Amino acid sequence: MHSARSPVQADYLFAMTWRHIYYQIGAVNLESGQPATPALTLQNWLINMTAYCINETELPPTESIHYSLKTTSPPLWCYVEQALDQLPPMLRLMVLMAQTFHWSETRIAAYLQAEGETISPNEVANFLQQGYRMLEEKLPADVRAIYLGENFFQPLSA
C-alpha cells in the first residue's frame, strides 16, 4: 500500500480511480446467482474497486504528472478518451499532436510528410477543424451541455 505524497499525486490517484471505476462498472453483476451467497451491493463493489485502485495504482513522480483535476474532471477525461477512440486514426493523431504536444499545423504536416504522407499545413488545419467537430459530436449531449455549455434542453417541437 502506498500513499500520495503530494496534492498532485492525490488528484491523479483520484482521477485514475474514477477512470478505472468508469470502465469497469458496465461489467458489474450485482446478482450472485447462488442462493447461499449474498448479492454484491453497488456500495461494496465501489469500496472494493476504490481500495484496489489505491493499493495497486503506481503513482508516477509529481513532476511527470500532467493531469490537472482543476482543468479536466475525471468524467470529461473519460468521455473525451472514448470520443477520441472513435475518430479515424489520422484525425486522432493530428488532434493529439495539436492538443497534447501543442504542435503547429506546419510541424504536424512536416512530421506526416516524413512518415510518407503528402499533406500541407492548410490541409492539416482543415483536418484539425474536422477532427475537433467530430470529437465534439461524439460526446454525449449531456456532457457537451455540462462541460461545453451547450443548451441540452431543447424545446419540444409542437
Note the pLDDT of residue 126. 97
pTM greater than 0.85: no
Q: Which CATH number fits domain 74-148: 1.10.10, 1.10.357, 1.10.3470, 1.10.1740?
A: 1.10.10
C-alpha cell at 29: 453483476
Average pLDDT, the chain: 88
State whether the Cα torsion 27-19-135-119 is positive or negative: negative
| Residue whose C-alpha cell is 510518407 | 116
Tell me what the mean pLDDT of segment 99-113 comes to.
96
CA dist., res. 79 & res. 19, Å (int): 10
- The domain ranges of the chain are 7-64, 74-148
Note the pLDDT of residue 1. 47
Q: What is the separation of C-alpha 58 from the centre of its chain, rounded to a whole number of angstroms?
A: 19
pLDDT confidence band for 71 (50 / 70 / 90): confident
pLDDT per position as a tens digit, 113-154: 999 999 999 999 999 999 999 999 999 999 999 988 877 655
